[in-house]
């Protein structure tokens, strides 16, 4: 899954730590999500969308590359 978390976070002028604090997760979790190494749980994805004032579909989208 691809995501627009980094771009969205940066557009608000937020650090990774600020986003982590807002979501109640570690900064390492944010780093892993932004790098595409970790897909958040559905509840976390909803919280991220809520703190950004966006929809989940604005933040996360399928990676259409074949495996």
Tokens 């259409």, located at residue: 64
At 9, is the pLDDT very low, low, confident or very high (cuts 50, 70, 90)? Answer: very high
pLDDT at res. 65: 57
Domains of the chain, by residue range, sit at 2-52
At 15, is the pLDDT very low, low, confident or very high (cuts 50, 70, 90)? Answer: very high
pLDDT at res. 36: 93
* Superfamily (CATH H level) for 2-52: lambda repressor-like DNA-binding domains (1.10.260.40)
pLDDT at res. 43: 97
Q: What is the mean pLDDT of residues 13-24?
A: 98
CA dihedral 29, 14, 22, 18 (to 10 degrees): 70
């Amino acid at each position: 899954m691809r995501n627009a978390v980094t771009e969205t976070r940066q557009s608000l002028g937020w650090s990774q730590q600020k986003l982590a604090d807002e979501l109640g997760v570690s900064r390492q979790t944010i780093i892993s999500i932004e790098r595409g190494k970790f897909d958040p749980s559905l509840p976390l994805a909803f919280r991220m969308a809520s703190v950004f004032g966006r929809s989940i579909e604005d933040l996360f989208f399928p990676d259409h590359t074949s495996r």
